[in-house]
Amino acid sequence: MNTRALCEQLAQEMQARGWMLATAESCTGGMIAAACTDLSGSSNWFERGFVTYSNEAKTELLGVDPALIAQQGAVSEVVVRAMAFGAVRHSRAQVSVAVTGVAGPTGGSPQKPVGTVWFGFQVDGRLTSETLRFDGDRAAVRSATVDHALQRLLQLLP
């Protein structure tokens, strides 16, 4: 399913529940929010997006504890979970998706190679997370991240 079709399906599911979505994005720089708001009528289900590329933005806008970032790094499960939680806490949304990763081509390490992305989701109070590694260049990693975030969000909706 392409990105637009995923967003259309997400729009239907969110509106059926009367829920709003907030995004918290690092490595995608707002691409998930842009995909969602490309749809006419998205204001009925898309509440807001946080582009928190820097560590300071994660702390200031989402309330991520800087100690978590210092201890685990920005690309980590604990940070993405805090981002997802913070996106709901600092919005009127019931659902959030958060992403943080290494899109490349630089910035990778043996522990977190290029293509590593952590995903966080909060759906009606339930917080989940997962990590994936995508192949390809920066554009491919970011595009795959957007599509996976939308697909997984659809799967998590009750």
> In tens digits, what is the pLDDT along the chain, a chain of 158 residues?
899 999 999 999 999 999 999 999 999 999 999 999 999 999 999 999 999 999 999 999 999 999 999 999 999 999 999 999 999 999 999 999 999 999 999 999 999 999 999 999 999 999 999 999 999 999 999 999 999 999 999 999 99
pLDDT score recorded for residue 1: 83
Asked if 1 and 151 touch (Cβ cutoff 8 Å), the reply is yes
Asked if 63 and 86 touch (Cβ cutoff 8 Å), the reply is yes
Residue 131: is it exposed, middle or buried by C-beta count within 10 angstroms (0-12/13-18/19+)? middle
Asked if 42 and 20 touch (Cβ cutoff 8 Å), the reply is no
Q: Which helix (H) or strand (E) holds 83?
A: helix 77-89
| Angle CA 54–154–132, to nearest 5 | 50
Asked if 10 and 154 touch (Cβ cutoff 8 Å), the reply is yes
**Is residue 158 reached through a cis peptide bond, with omega within 30 degrees of 0 on the bond before it?**
no
User: Cα–Cα distance between 75 and 103 in angstroms, integer?
Assistant: 11
pLDDT score recorded for residue 52: 98
Using alpha carbons, list the distances in angstroms from residue 154 to 62, 66, 111: 23, 31, 29
In sequence order, the β-bridge partners of residue 123 are 95, 126
